[in-house]
Amino acid sequence: MRVCAWYNTRMKATPKLSQPSKMPCKSWSLPAWTTCPGARNADGSAVDACSMCYALQGRYTFGAVKEVRDHNLTDWTESDWCDAMVKAIGKGTYFRWFDSGDIYSPELAEKIVEVCQRTPNCAHWIPTRA
């Protein structure tokens, strides 16, 4: 099933990628706390696995870094996002989804699957609790 449409016009989607220092590839991320469905206990506190999340501290707290993740949070809903992501990944051989955040909706999961299918020469890594 193809979720995204191909357009010959200028793309509306503009995914912003990061280059995590400990990774040999680019990454696409979302805000950690708001998009991690399994991060909280019933009382709102962090589950043990998320209590020391690196994406909630250090450079991840800088305004410019937060802006990228907030941008991606709305950008992925554009109809041409898959096309834009395929273009952004390009000829990369590795790609990491989520150095921050997680798959928080079935629609996002479907689009990620499409991007992976359309970039068969790239090894995709998706660390997730979803």
pLDDT at position 80 = 97
- State the Cα–Cα distance between residues 79 and 3, nearest whole angstrom: 8
Scanning the structure block, which residue is given the tokens 């706390």? 33
**Residue 114 reports pLDDT greater than 80:** yes
Residue 58: what residue type? G
Q: What does pTM read for this prediction? A: 0.80
Average pLDDT over residues 100-122: 95
pLDDT at position 71 = 96
3-state secondary structure the chain: CCCCCCCCCCCCCCCCEECCCCCCCEEECCCCCCCCCCCECCCCCECHHHCCCHHHCHHHHCHHHHHHHHHHHHHCCCCCHHHHHHHHHCCCCEEEECCCCCCCCHHHHHHHHHHHHHCCCCEEECCCCC
Q: What are the tens digits of pLDDT across the range 14-61?
A: 999 988 877 789 999 998 877 777 777 788 777 776 666 666 666 766
Query: Beta strand 17-18 with 26-28: parallel, antiparallel or unpaired?
Result: antiparallel
Q: What are the tens digits of pLDDT across the range 60-97?
A: 666 777 899 999 999 999 999 999 999 999 999 999 99
